């Protein structure tokens, strides 16, 4: 069975050491993330280190949204949020990153708890204090196959 995914879907919570994607011999990558600190005060910065590793046997290309949009957050009730940090971000035409088998790439991101509810047209707001899942999201390409990979194991961050 061949699975094919669209190459857009960027925004959900953070993960610790994630899932592997395999699409009938397609791209195989793992995602992992760490956060410092794990218990920031809302408005303070939690720095995220997202690592993408090619665990397959062929070259893959990864694409990230940039502009601090390589992850999404969700609360225990399943509500998802898009990061909405006050970041100056211009249209960035970055070349995709190629990863040979066994290689990895690190993406640095951050959150202060400033978000927009997913699917909403509302303006940014601060999350209420509480526990949130953070998951990295990347696009992966190999040959004529593409997938959006969302980590299956979130990192838990408690905003105070």
Q: Is the pLDDT of residue 27 over 70?
A: yes
Task: Evaluate whether residue 45 is within a structural domain.
Answer: yes
* Domain count of the fold of the chain: 1
Task: Evaluate whether residue 78 is within a structural domain.
Answer: yes
Q: What would the DSSP string read from start to end of the chain?
A: ------S------BBSEEEEP-STT---EEEEEEEE-SSPPBTB-EEEEEEEEE-SSS-EEEE---TT-SEEEE-TT--EEEE----------PPPEEE-TT-EEEEEEEE-SEEEETT--PPPEEPPSEEEEEEEEEEEEETTEEEEEE-SSBEEEEE-
Task: Evaluate whether residue 2 is within a structural domain.
Answer: no
Percentage of residues in the chain with pLDDT exceeding 90?
51
pLDDT tens track for 43-101: 999 999 999 999 999 999 998 767 777 899 999 999 999 888 866 666 666 678 999 99
Give pTM, 2 decimals: 0.77
Task: Evaluate whether residue 3 is within a structural domain.
Answer: no
Task: Evaluate whether residue 144 is within a structural domain.
Answer: yes
> What's the pLDDT at 9?
33
pLDDT tens track for 131-145: 999 999 989 999 888
* Token pair belonging to 3: 């699975």
Residue pair 62/50 in contact by the 8 Å Cβ criterion: no
> What's the pLDDT at 14?
32
> What's the pLDDT at 92?
62
CATH number for the domain harbouring residue 89: 2.60.40.1470
> What's the pLDDT at 53?
95
Residue range(s) defining the domain that contains residue 31: 17-159
């Amino acid at each position: 069975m061949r699975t094919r995914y669209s190459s857009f879907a960027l925004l959900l919570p953070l993960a610790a050491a994630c899932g592997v994607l395999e699409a009938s011999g397609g791209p195989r990558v793992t995602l992992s993330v760490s956060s410092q600190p794990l218990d920031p005060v809302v408005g303070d910065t939690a720095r995220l280190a997202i690592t993408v590793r090619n665990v397959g046997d062929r070259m893959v290309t990864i694409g990230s949204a940039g502009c601090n949009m390589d992850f999404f957050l969700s609360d225990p009730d399943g509500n998802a949020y898009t990061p909405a940090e006050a970041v100056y971000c211009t249209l960035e035409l970055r070349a995709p990153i190629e990863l040979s088998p066994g290689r990895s790439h690190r993406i640095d991101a951050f959150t202060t708890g400033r978000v927009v509810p997913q699917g909403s047209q509302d303006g940014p707001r601060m999350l209420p204090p509480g526990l949130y899942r953070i998951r990295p999201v990347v696009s992966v390409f190999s040959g004529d196959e593409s997938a959006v990979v969302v980590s299956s194991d979130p990192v838990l961050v408690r905003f105070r």
